[in-house]
Amino acid sequence: MLLISCPHCGPRAEIEFAYGHEAHIARPTDQEKLTDAEWADYLFMRKNPKGVHYERWVHARGCRRWFNVARHTVTHEILAVYRMGDPPPALDR
């Protein structure tokens, strides 16, 4: 079980949280110009890295606020927790 540090409530068990999948996927702004392939890329294609994954979590059974996490997908180690809207921290792993 992951131990996730909510930026607002502190460390809590994973079971209190819900997963929000890949972070930093911005909705395209020039929507009327987008091709079907570009829409598919935005809607469906994912990085799914074997390594550091930048992802969103929500403290669903706590303060109910969203935040970002950088987590390694093999060790499950949480390398950083940062606020929504902040850029992904540079982690050289």
The verdict on 59 binding other proteins (CB under 8 A) reads no
Could you say whether residue 18 binds other proteins (CB under 8 A)?
Answer: yes
Residue 37 host element (H or E)? helix 36-43
Rounded-to-integer distance, Cα 92 and Cα 47, Å: 17
Cβ proximity to other proteins: between 51 and 89 the closer is 51
Tokens representing 36 are 């079907």
| Cα distance from N-terminal residue to C-terminal residue, the chain | 22
- Residue 31 binding other proteins, by CB under 8 A: no
Q: State the residues that interact with other proteins by CB under 8 A.
A: 1-2, 13-15, 18-19, 21-22, 36-37, 39-41, 43-50, 53, 55, 71, 73-76
